[in-house]
Chains A and B, each alone.
Chain A
Amino acid sequence: MSEFAITIDSLEKSFPRAHSGWRAFLQPFASPSLPALRGISLQVRPGEALALLGTNGAGKSTLLRILATLLLPTRGTAVVAGFDSAREPAAVRRHLGYHAGSDLGFYARLTGGENLRFFGRLNHLSDSFLRTRIPALAEQFELGSALDRQVRTLSSGTIQRLSLLRALLHRPKVLLLDEPTRSLDALAAADFRRFLKEEVLEQEGTSLLFASHTLSEIELLANRVAILKEGNLVALDTPAALRSRSRASSLEEAFSRLTGHSARSLEEPAAS
């Protein structure tokens, strides 16, 4: 791995304006004109946890999706484990675990175990490795019974935990999580955070970049916090340094002072 697990340099991303009526037919060919990321630069060190904090539309998911090779940047570069996400997407995906924060993404008629084996095999993991890895992770996630049940019968929170388990199956060097505890109840969320901190960050040394609206989660997990506002990186530092820089007593207050948004705006439902 290179010096940094993730290197983002002058990253810009714009989307085309949405058209309706007959002009929607030309949408696939429209030139990108709406900026979502405006020249972001940051690095994540190996084993570090960096949180992305911002209101909806700040560019957190766009940034994660570029790193996950699901979007192409308009300008600039995003390098994961030494590989450029735009030019070497297959190499990037070898080192990457990605959880989009959704409870979709599984075959409803297959069991949890069948789904995990299928995705594990697509990551070229052997059957014998999966036979031990899946039950071991399932035990940590308390997903034992979900492995034998069809996904359509599982609760939203259980499916989300399955999705997190899937992201960790191939022991990725870099883990990208988009609001990882969004659908989990308070107890499951706390367990998951503990698992992330103790098992993934401290034991396996995985680098973590995650977007979250939950400030307590960020305080617990993140070594540093990147605050985004309308596609700009307005601050990047440790939670303590952010608090002292903005003379705030909490991360919530620091966020408000640095962005001009109230911390309550973090909890507003997604606009898009």
Chain B
Amino acid sequence: MIRVLRDFLLFFQRDLRIASTYRGPFVLELVEALFGAAMFYYVARFVDSPQLREALPQGTTYFAYSLVGFVFFDYLHAALDSFDRTLEEARDTGTLEPLLVTQVSLPVILVGSATYPFAVTTLRIAVYLGWGSALFGFPLRSANWLSVLVVLVATLLSFSGLGIFSSAYLLLFKRGNPSKWFFLGISSVVGGMLFPVSILPPWLQVVAHLNPVTYALEAMRAALLQGASLSAIAKPLLILFVFALGLLPTSILTFSWALQRTKITGTLSHR
């Protein structure tokens, strides 16, 4: 276990070193986050109404609601993207085969390579919320940070399964994953990113409740905006862990099978 964690750290350090050779993007992301937070603030001011406030959880402004939805959606994006982008980059730069003849297994390579993008996404979320709090009154002080941390872990685990499925698809079919875009599309409508699930027609609400994004956002908003304790968000958390328990092993099995297939068909490094 310690060896695996050490391997993860190696991948993290590798990506940090590579990122440090590009200095511009970090500053640009800080500025982009400022504009993003400002945009949500002014949109929220524009659409604010008594009816809207009634539809939101008590005491929550639309600015805080939509900002959490937006930045957290970034997490889903990172989870779905990190694994297959890692694989695609390794394949295209020719590092995949040298990595595969080391003593580290492909799942460790994949998860290890995703640690940096996840850390960057977490940092980006913090920057968005930081700007929101410093300039536009985002209620950061009411957050329950322990709950926030546990929700992040649960989200990471359940979303990672989806990302690993996506990489298995890439191994087999070599090009972008339609199911990823389908999932992101569905989640942007029924995941509760910018509006509550309760305003959807009943049949779409059923779809929403089959989607881990809905629970992740519900728990994160409660923890961040209302300071909900772990017991208060036990239900969405439990559902997220159930998703993780189902998705992670099946995605790893699917990925291993896809890897075996590519070793049979000889297409491991094909583009």
Contact = CB atoms under 8 A, between A and B. Distances in A.
Contacts of B22: 109
Contacts of A121: 10
A96 B264 contact: no
B6 to A, nearest CB: 8
Contact of B103 (A32, A105, A122): A122
A118 B173 CA distance: 29
A158 to B, nearest CB: 16
**Most A C-beta atoms less than 10 A away, residue of B3, B172, B265:** B265
A205 to B, nearest CB: 21
Contacts of A69: 100-101
Contact of A15 (B21, B95, B100, B265): B265
A29 B258 CA distance: 10
B18 interface: yes
Contacts of B7: 122
A28 B266 contact: no
Contacts of A94: 103
A109 B18 CA distance: 6
B97 A105 contact: yes
Interface string B1-38: 00100010010001001100110000000000000000
Nearest to B269: A70
A197 interface: no
A68 B100 CA distance: 9
Contact of A122 (B10, B172, B263): B10
B179 interface: no
A28 B270 CA distance: 12
Interface in B78-107: 93-95, 97-105
Question: Contact size class for A?
Answer: 35 or more
Interface in A64-90: 65, 68-72, 74, 90
B263 A114 contact: no
A16 B102 contact: no
A110 B14 contact: yes
Given A102-B94, A114-B17, A27 B102 contact: no
A119 interface: yes
A179 to B, nearest CB: 15
Majority SS of interface residues in chain B?
A: helix
A72 B264 contact: yes
A74 B261 CA distance: 12
Given A71-B263, A107-B95, A90 B103 contact: yes
B120 to A, nearest CB: 16
Interface string A82-118: 0000000010011010101010111111100010001
Interface in B209-231: none
B267 interface: yes
A188 B228 CA distance: 67
A107 B10 CA distance: 14
Contacts of B98: 100, 105-106, 119, 163, 166
Interface string B244-271: 0000000000000010111111111000
Contact of B102 (A65, A100, A119, A163): A119
A190 interface: no
Interface of A: 15-16, 25, 27-30, 32, 62, 65, 68-72, 74, 90, 93-94, 96, 98, 100, 102, 104-110, 114, 118-119, 121-124, 150, 163, 166
12 contacts: A15-B265, A25-B173, A27-B267, A28-B261, A32-B264, A71-B268, A72-B263, A72-B264, A90-B105, A93-B101, A122-B104, A150-B21
Interface of B: 3, 7, 10, 14, 17-18, 21-22, 93-95, 97-105, 172-173, 258, 260-268
